[in-house]
Amino acid sequence: MKDQIVQTSTELERCPFPIPYGWYVIELSENLAVGDIQNVEAFDQQWVMFRGEDGSVGVTDPICPHLGAHLGHGGKVVGNNIRCPFHHWEYDHQGWCKKIPYGKVMPGIAKKKPILRSLPTQERYDLIFVWYHPKGEEPTFEVPTIPELESEGYIPVRHGQWDIGTCLQEIGENSVDNAHLKFLHGSPVIPPVEASIDGHNFNFDIGGGYIVGKCHGAGIQELRHNQQGVSMLMFSTGLPVNPELTRTRMHFTFKDYPEGSKERNVAETLYQHSIGEAEGKDSAGFESVDMLVWNNKKYRPEPLLCDGDGPIQLWRKFSQQFYVDA
């Protein structure tokens, strides 16, 4: 039986993974007005995002199929289409060529199918979701339904955004790495963790109901922090900018308890503790400690694990299903 080889730092890569397929939040709805055009870095390339007169959102390849002009530099929204600045060819949010102002006959391929690559989009919860698949395949699962974001009686959603220098798999692995909660975050104990895979969902429970989470593919995670009968939702959405950079957005809400009530104070503390270091708490939130590790670590494909580690290999098995050889 051969001994396990422990790779040295020069043999390891930071993020040796392709971009996983799935649903991702590319922007907050409020940041894209009717008629706006934005250039967006995501999935290791640039895209152009625009909003038509009817409110529909398009996210397409930025390079015009005609002669290669960049739609995001000088382009214009006309009705519900994006117009190329070079010759005024127009494309809708699905990538169909809708108008060539000086042409009498549309090129044959443009009559049969979209000629500008576009990403399927949905707007829910005041967020713009896009479906990314490296081979352009259609969605295989839906954007999840989050009851707190569809119900009255909750505080307005609080948003946070952080650029993290690693990939989604590495960030998500923390959800099952219960030992780090004591030694990195300073928790007084190592909480128990349970986890399971259910298709494109990964379910986990930290501390016997203290944090209960569900991942929907690689880019969406719903977590509920529970204490003293109070629950605080953290809806986490990560966007792969490139293989080694993730734009993480978190969206928080809880029931609109009366100001000054015990429940309101508990909810506010859960919120503060989830992103930073709440006053009086003996453990730190992710922003103050996790990012230092994430921004500098390397991935070990064959980690040295001990009997006290959480179900890390189960998380890695789950993550593998979203990688495609492009």
Q: Give the confidence band of 326 by pLDDT, cuts at 50, 70, 90.
A: very low
Q: From 2.160.10.10, 2.102.10.10, 2.40.10.10, 2.60.40.10, which CATH number describes the 23-132 domain?
A: 2.102.10.10
When the pLDDT of each residue in the chain is averaged and rounded to a whole number, the result is 94
296, 170 Cβ separation under 8 angstroms: no
147-320: in CATH 3.10.50.40? no
What are the backbone dihedrals phi and psi of residue 292, each rounded to the nearest 5 degrees, phi first? Answer: -60, -40
Instruction: Give CA–CA dist 160/248, Å, rounded.
Output: 8
Q: What is the pLDDT of residues 193-236, one digit of tens each?
A: 999 999 999 999 999 999 999 999 999 999 999 999 999 999 99
Task: Label residue 277 by pLDDT band (50, 70, 90).
Answer: low
pLDDT at position 278, please? 47
Query: Which stretches of the chain are DSSP H helices?
Result: 108-112, 147-150, 168-173, 179-183, 262-275, 286-294, 312-320
Name the pTM for this structure.
0.94
R_g of the chain computed on alpha carbons: 22
Which sequence spans correspond to the domains of the chain? 23-132, 147-320
Tokens matching residue 17: 């993974």
d(CA 318, CA 141): 15
